[in-house]
Structure 1
């Protein structure tokens, strides 16, 4: 299905008068002007949701276009469509699209950035999004950790800082049972403190931090432990705490 979506996405720009060339893209209207993937995404990705297709096929086509362009703006158009008057998008197709790309052995920066700044920072969507991309599956990840599932778990944990602590804490605790996920858990805890919208409970986060099996020279572990032990919840609520910890631990 994913390969079919990519193939459909490769045909779709040509139908819009846009062709891929060696160094980028060109349009039929201005064949001498080289376009970047980002420019193509901004100009045409939203039109996917005006296609005469059912909603599920529109979503699959949009994800195929994401695979083709590898540009964050495609995920923005997916999010816009989900929140539009015609939305929401079909849940299973939407989140299956995210899960597949989080599991794939290729760059997933556009997808993880989308989760972080769009779905996880918005507290009206973060609980559902986190559950769909990891929370519902964490027991399976720990019990039968294929490389693809572990890859997805690592990527989600690392960008989960903005997810509210009561939502992500059970998943964090379950993930503790798989040592391979400990470095990603550490980065998730650190982001939970440092992100503008990061969220954690200091005592509970400290208890998890102290159980992580990490290399002894793990950067910022001591500083994070100090701010959590002092009861600080977020870098931006206690702006001097991290600098104090850096000085103390240096």
Structure 2
């Protein structure tokens, strides 16, 4: 399906007069000027949602554009469309596209960045987004952990710091039953403490941290345990607590 989406996006760009030249792009309007993928995204991605197509096909076209360009701005336009007058976008198309790409072997950094700074930091979308990309599936991941499902779970956990604690804690408690997810869970707990919008409940987070099977000498494990045991919720609300922990544990 992703290949079909990519080819549909390539054809759509060609209809807009945009084609690829090696690692750059060129527009028929200015054939002598090479464009970066990000410039193409800013110029064209929003137009996808103006096409006279069924909403699900617009979403698939946008994902195909993302596959071609790997540009964060494409994810922004998808979110604008979902949250704007054209939205909400069909959930199966939107979140199914996220899930499939999070499970793929290909790099998913653009998608995880979009989840982290947009969908998860926004209290209006965090619960739905987290449920769609992991929360609703975590029992299945733990019960039958295929390589693809583990990739998705790890990627989502590692960028889930801003998700409100009551939303993500049930998934964290389920994930802790699977040792293969413990390193990602540690990253999740650390990010929940360190991210500007990170969210956790110290005692509950400490209880999870103490259940993780991690390699000896895991960096910042002792420091995180110390600040959580002291009841601190976020690095940015009590920065000296982390500094003290670093000195104490070094």
TM-score, L = length of structure 1: 0.99
Alpha-carbon distance in structure 2 between the residues aligned to 1:197 and 1:33: 40
Q: Pairwise mapping of residues 26-105 of structure 1 onto structure 2 (< 5 A)?
A: 26-105=26-105
Cα offset, 1:2, TM superposition: 2.1
1:18 maps to which residue? Answer: 18
Alpha-carbon distance in structure 2 between the residues aligned to 1:80 and 1:58: 13
2:186 pairs with 1:186: yes
Deviations along 1:162-189, whole A, 9 cap, x unmatched? 0011110010010011100000000000
Alpha-carbon distance in structure 2 between the residues aligned to 1:168 and 1:83: 22
1:171 maps to which residue? Answer: 171
Alpha-carbon distance in structure 2 between the residues aligned to 1:137 and 1:79: 22
2:208 maps to which residue? Answer: 208
Alpha-carbon distance in structure 1 between the residues aligned to 2:57 and 2:69: 18
1:227 maps to which residue? Answer: 227
Q: Pairwise mapping of residues 92-171 of structure 1 onto structure 2 (< 5 A)?
A: 92-171=92-171
Deviations along 1:132-171, whole A, 9 cap, x unmatched? 0000000000010000000000000000000011110010
Alpha-carbon distance in structure 2 between the residues aligned to 1:219 and 1:30: 51
Alpha-carbon distance in structure 2 between the residues aligned to 1:241 and 1:33: 52
Cα offset, 1:23, TM superposition: 2.9
Alpha-carbon distance in structure 2 between the residues aligned to 1:93 and 1:151: 20
Q: How many residues align?
A: 250
Superposed CA RMSD: 0.6
Alpha-carbon distance in structure 1 between the residues aligned to 2:139 and 2:63: 27
Alpha-carbon distance in structure 1 between the residues aligned to 2:167 and 2:84: 26
Gaps (5+ residues) in structure 1?
Answer: none
Alpha-carbon distance in structure 2 between the residues aligned to 1:244 and 1:48: 51
Deviations along 1:18-69, whole A, 9 cap, x unmatched? 1100130010111111111000001111100011101000000000110110
Point out 4+ residue stretches in structure 1 off by more than 4 angstroms.
Answer: none
Alpha-carbon distance in structure 2 between the residues aligned to 1:155 and 1:86: 29
